[in-house]
Structure 1
């Protein structure tokens, strides 16, 4: 077991019985070391072929904001702050360096010493992915704040879509195994989103910020989280995961051998099986890691790890040497441990059979038919959802251990009575739900009499419904219902035969209330539980025009409801009419101020450039005056330099403030567009994004709110 991995949850493996057996006689071997002689920016290291018929070399970004190339003395100076870097094979047999800054994307050809293109990206670039997405041509995909840009090799804008949050990592992978690649992106909001062309294909909820994504094989990709978790997904199912105390810097796959390399920020390098996460070989570097890169030669794969201090170490995946661990001896030790555990269990059974009746009576034995019930209970008075644990035969509960991803801090919760004499047979554990996501609650209940020295452990698993923070409103609690102003209305699909089936799976509800949801029409009110108890929910079914109306004021929750409804009934195409007055008013205000903010930004940029040019000119004149020993003029120039420098700093601050405001407004607008697209299913949702983008670029902003409200087909 890895000393850094969490013992309670070292592996969570899906069905890997059908995965072929790969050669496990391989290891990581250190090949050579070198140094870049610069401190390296975290996450900014790539491997690239910069000359025709050249060899791969390392390109990195220094802490001084310069692009340095291994064995090349002259660095590339970039005036803007660099955030990320990538290599794209768009040259004639060589790569161009793609640089993402806080305001643009720059493609630079080292071989010809020229800038291929430079495009403005208002909210900056956080990560890159290069390749072919679906049926689109190969392009450079840039992850920004709530949006993704795509540029072809000439710099033409070929792709744009919006996301729910900032894009921090991305990769191209065949998510559904259909032979076409999808774009998989990770965000700080704990979600992994999959895009098929410009349409969102799936959303996967995790327990922390997504820090790294990597293609593994068709239908499978790997991920890492900010809390040290790594794992793989096959379709929507997690295949396995491992939780460590360290954080991941980079993940690489060696698809032909069914292996993956995990580079940790603290310096550890693991070679693992891709299908179950088992470690085959391990090595390390002495200092913290900036980033790592993998060679493109699949037959002779090498991994270069670059540290923050500029020192680098290259590893090669090769056949294990004779000094490797003897697999036979390891297997013998494992079977020996299993034999020891079984013998101990057999000994316990034999001791129990030899006990007399008097000894058994004094041992406070628990009846064999004792059961533990685990259920969800709603306290409407305090608007709180609780997990009730109850044991039969009034057996005292001495402790409860619950494991649940993202629900509790540390993913676990322990209940122990204040003292053993206050143990009782039924307890309620409050659940505070912050996000709409399904969750498996694994409970271990410890039962035993107060004076007994032995405890019985009962295990149970319950699934927390997706919208468990809503519960049907009973008549006596109607005071808690506040009629929402926002709603969506759509036609009832023939696939949605029984609404009660979806409600039963997605909400916390008594079985006795389910039948009312199959009535031909009516109004069904829900009460929101803490912490968002002020948001009420209502369904309204009208048979006269065959429409289904959902009333709720939170547009994000409404989007989740629509997507869940469509997924449950397998609806591929659904339009709707939406009404969220506050959201649409906010979108109109942002659209109205975009043009003035852009004009102010251009004016401030021009003013800043003038100030900077004046500072350079005055500095040169001052140095010339000193060179000719004209001290009085030099003193005058330096006084002017101080004043112009202060003015330039002020102009830069004004431009930065305007830029921040502009980026914040664009991010919010992108978020609104994405939320409105999620109110539709399939092509109507995609057309919302496409039509809004076209309207904004063509300065036809007055139709944007109409598109958000009535859909793209209304235009």
Structure 2
């Protein structure tokens, strides 16, 4: 298959474009217009099919190129989106997010629909049907929360996320014919919301920077470390990693297969087209500078859409479905079969070559043995044995141990472990010194978070004098709560904090959940008593976790870590397919922290009002001194110097006041973020918000 595709059109806009701030909209209801944020705090609108549009208002058309119009925002632009928003109107509306405001703008009528302050900032925008609202909503993601607005500016939705939001999309995630909200944030998480209810949560290795909807209830994601991948509900279909990072992604059928592919634009200017199911690359192209955004629209008015890429230097390229790359059903199947057979042939030839090298040895028995060892020949029954257990050691250092050994006298020369989110760079290599090599090896692991982890182990096995080694590959999955070990008869005081709920489920099913999600030396079984109690210790910090289950359905998790309590509740609810679960929680430290933060916010607000009053007084004094200084310049020059000295002192006071207000504002934002984080943690305990609010009445 030809791996290159030529663009069907190329344009130069001659503007510097901010990466990630590119969209497209049909502002007259028919003709698509590429829209992007520029480096000069303007929004550029390219209208190749321009019709008569009002020239009054914010929009300004370029004198040199009448296809280009700009909006002067005069603020740092942080997000941009276009879509149908006003009921019973087919014209797209442009929404521009700045540092602390959003502007909802009707481009065709050249008028503001509404302009609203967003104290939590604007980091991501989305327009679509959400929840029970019959009309479309504008969703605004900020530093730690999401707000939803109707077309008249009325706020109808709010939820807490707990960290800075990086991207949002609306799609039917769980195939219930209604759209859910998928949100990524700087805490490495991808959350799925059904209105204000958290349906699911996935954790990546670094910050997820971009999300895009795909067909068949799938979505693609990009990570700041260069990883891109595709999820189908909670299952990840594939992922690949690059030394560059993805700027934007778009779903489009570029090679004429009848189903869309994933088009990705990268920071080095590269563009590629991949299979949504497998990640296989179908074509590549390279722009002259970093990609700024990728959109889709009928830009040539030919009745079919093109995929359009825009670079940071303002270069625009359009690509369309290329029939020459299309594969018929039989041809595509045949070519795929040929590729697989060629790959198998190459692997077999390589293996045969190794066997020939291994059999080229001398007839002398001693040299024969040496040749066996040097060439890496090992007994046919050699097996690699893997054991994984929690090391509860008597030292302060506790970790998970991976014990690797062979079943004979062969040695393990080195081990490479691939695991996501554990090691820097996702790879860990153990290469013992020559005097330390043996037939077994112990590798300690520390898991930073409570997530299931797949570990891929490659061990080089041979003899001490071998020049070639056999590679054994084994994959194991560490359960979600691997970093918690049984106390083995040691009785520790139960933590004061807990979460409690009731459910109708047998203890046998609870035991199955425990055995699947904890790394235990032997399976937990019920002894026929009325309850089951397990005391565990965290290998990270030595904290205590006590899990108590009763036959009558009462469950209690004792832990001072509210995040762990939420993870346990969510994991158990998913395992038992519980759609609703009412719980009661007692976390006095978090409750006290919220009270302190709210008191602090009240103090910050009072200080802010007082500082505002002081600024107004200072400005009045400045005006008076300027008038007096001008009068002195005309009537008495000797007094003029004193007035300007007083103005200089007032200016310094205003600068100091500004710095104080800035620090005050920053501290207020941090307090709000912490409150939202605690609310998010409580919400993950399934129905705790009312309980939290009761404890905030002080």
| TM-score, shorter chain, exceeding 0.5 | yes
2:547 counterpart of 1:539: yes
Normalising by structure 2, what TM-score?
0.84
For residue 567 of structure 1, the aligned residue among 557, 561, 574 is 574
For residue 495 of structure 2, the aligned residue among 478, 484, 494 is 484
C-alpha distance after superposition, 1:539-558 (max 9, x if no partner): 22345x65222111110111
Q: Which moved more, 1:448-457 or 1:231-240?
A: 448-457
CA contact (8 A) 2:2 2:283 kept: no
Cα deviation, residue 186, structure 1: 1.0
For CA contacts below 8 A with separation 6 or more, give which structure has more relative contact order.
1
For residue 579 of structure 1, the aligned residue among 582, 586, 598 is 586
Hey, what does 1:207 align to over in structure 2? Answer: 205
3-state DSSP class of the match of 2:200? Answer: strand
1:526-675 equivalences under 5 Å are: 526-530=536-540, 532-533=541-542, 535-542=543-550, 546-602=553-609, 604=611, 642=648, 645-675=651-681
C-alpha distance after superposition, 1:37-89 (max 9, x if no partner): 4x333322222334x35633333333332334347247434354332122232
Alignment partners' CA distance in 2, 1:622 and 1:110: 47
Alignment partners' CA distance in 2, 1:251 and 1:632: 68
C-alpha distance after superposition, 1:408-436 (max 9, x if no partner): 111111111112x4211221111111101
2:161 counterpart of 1:150: no
Hey, what does 2:241 align to over in structure 1? Answer: 243
2:31 counterpart of 1:34: no
2:119 counterpart of 1:122: yes
Give the aligned CA root-mean-square deviation in angstroms: 3.8
Hey, what does 1:20 align to over in structure 2? Answer: none
Hey, what does 2:188 align to over in structure 1? Answer: 190
Q: CA separation of 1:613/1:580 partners in 2, compared to 1, >3 Å: closer, same or farther? A: same
3-state DSSP class of the match of 1:572? Answer: coil
Hey, what does 1:86 align to over in structure 2? Answer: 81
3-state DSSP class of the match of 2:481? Answer: coil
Alignment partners' CA distance in 2, 1:664 and 1:347: 63
Alignment partners' CA distance in 2, 1:259 and 1:282: 13
CA contact (8 A) 1:103 1:125 kept: yes
CA contact (8 A) 1:59 1:69 kept: yes
Alignment partners' CA distance in 2, 1:431 and 1:46: 44
2:389 counterpart of 1:377: yes
Normalising by structure 1, what TM-score?
0.82
3-state DSSP class of the match of 1:503? Answer: helix
Hey, what does 1:45 align to over in structure 2? Answer: 22
1:356-435 equivalences under 5 Å are: 358=365, 361-362=369-370, 363-364=372-373, 365-380=377-392, 381-382=394-395, 383-419=398-434, 421-435=435-449
3-state DSSP class of the match of 2:320? Answer: strand
CA contact (8 A) 2:238 2:278 kept: yes
CA contact (8 A) 1:172 1:181 kept: yes
3-state DSSP class of the match of 1:277? Answer: coil
Q: CA separation of 1:503/1:330 partners in 2, compared to 1, >3 Å: closer, same or farther? A: closer
Q: CA separation of 1:181/1:623 partners in 2, compared to 1, >3 Å: closer, same or farther? A: farther
CA contact (8 A) 1:175 1:218 kept: no
2:483 counterpart of 1:469: yes
Q: Which moved more, 1:24-33 or 1:579-588?
A: 24-33
2:43 counterpart of 1:67: yes
C-alpha distance after superposition, 1:368-387 (max 9, x if no partner): 22222212233321322211
Structure 2: segments with no counterpart, 5+ residues: 48-60, 63-68
Hey, what does 1:234 align to over in structure 2? Answer: 232
Alignment partners' CA distance in 2, 1:393 and 1:649: 76
Q: Which moved more, 1:576-585 or 1:497-506?
A: 497-506
For residue 451 of structure 2, the aligned residue among 423, 437, 456 is 437
Alignment partners' CA distance in 2, 1:635 and 1:281: 72
Q: CA separation of 1:334/1:581 partners in 2, compared to 1, >3 Å: closer, same or farther? A: closer
Cα deviation, residue 224, structure 1: 0.6
CA contact (8 A) 1:495 1:569 kept: no
C-alpha distance after superposition, 1:82-132 (max 9, x if no partner): 321222323544333212222232212334443322233221010111111
Cα deviation, residue 658, structure 1: 2.1
Cα deviation, residue 503, structure 1: 1.4
CA contact (8 A) 1:268 1:282 kept: yes
CA contact (8 A) 1:25 1:319 kept: no
2:102 counterpart of 1:105: yes
Cα deviation, residue 664, structure 1: 1.2
Alignment partners' CA distance in 1, 2:610 and 2:105: 28
3-state DSSP class of the match of 2:596? Answer: helix
1:146-295 equivalences under 5 Å are: 146-254=144-252, 257-295=259-297
2:516 counterpart of 1:505: yes
2:301 counterpart of 1:301: no
For residue 57 of structure 1, the aligned residue among 6, 29, 33 is 33
3-state DSSP class of the match of 1:435? Answer: coil
2:319 counterpart of 1:313: no
CA contact (8 A) 1:417 1:423 kept: yes
Q: CA separation of 1:644/1:316 partners in 2, compared to 1, >3 Å: closer, same or farther? A: farther
Cα deviation, residue 583, structure 1: 0.4
Hey, what does 2:57 align to over in structure 1? Answer: none
Cα deviation, residue 521, structure 1: 2.0
Q: CA separation of 1:334/1:88 partners in 2, compared to 1, >3 Å: closer, same or farther? A: closer
Greater helix content: 1
3-state DSSP class of the match of 2:279? Answer: coil
Alignment partners' CA distance in 2, 1:257 and 1:238: 19
Alignment partners' CA distance in 2, 1:625 and 1:142: 53
CA contact (8 A) 2:250 2:294 kept: no
Alignment partners' CA distance in 2, 1:635 and 1:306: 56
Cα deviation, residue 252, structure 1: 0.7
